[in-house]
Amino acid sequence: MSIAIPKEVAAGKTDPSTIYARITNKNVYRLNGNCDPAKVPSLIADIKAAGKIHLKNWTKVEKRAPRTASLSPSKPLMGPDPIAPRFRILDEFRAKCDKLEAEGNFGALQDLYDRKDNKAAAITSNLVAFDKQGVVNEEWFEERDRIQRVLDVVEAERDYAISLMPCQDDDADSAWEANS
């Protein structure tokens, strides 16, 4: 019986009753069977709290060959798999942020955060406008899912960048104000 340590656990974007986990060796696994979508957040929390998964209950998601070109010029390529490319994109961004933190370049880290925050606001605005369209068909759902996946990645990048910023100590601020 193999046991693995999950690094990231998330619900499926196209099927919210499916749970995916990326383990330490960067392989992605899908939980066998479907869950009640209402119980998925609590199951994800339980998996994260346990800190390990038994692979007999999971199926490895096969890596697909990368596409060489985007399907449409209006749709940037996120990758063939709806889950795995996000992990790669986030890993690359985290490495960039970690490098800036190690160098002590918090100004550049703040710039990254600001850019991601502005991008998240713009995508959210586009998503709201897109939701107000009157036509609802399969292409609409696919495009909305694509926009939401991009927004999820940008928000995760933004949150990681701000997590590396040095904390402002409220006591130090109040002491400074008292001495002014």
Q: Where are the domains of the chain?
A: 3-60, 84-163
Interval 129-153 mean pLDDT: 79
Higher pLDDT, 172 or 113: 113
pTM above 0.85, yes or no: no
Confidence band for 2, pLDDT divided at 50, 70 and 90? confident
Interval 17-41: pLDDT, tens? 889 999 988 889 999 988 888 888 8
Range from 96-105, 133-142, 156-165 carrying the lowest mean pLDDT: 133-142
pLDDT of residue 64: 61
Residue 17: C-alpha distances to residues 35, 41, 83 (Å): 5, 10, 14
| CB 10, CB 83: distance < 8 Å | yes
Q: How far apart are the first and last CA of the chain?
A: 64
| CB 71, CB 25: distance < 8 Å | no
Strand, coil or helix: 101: helix
φ/ψ of 62, rounded to 5, equals -70, 140
Interval 78-103: pLDDT, tens? 445 555 577 788 888 889 989 988 89
| CB 31, CB 18: distance < 8 Å | yes
Higher pLDDT, 75 or 60: 60
Is pLDDT at 167 greater than 50 in this prediction?
yes
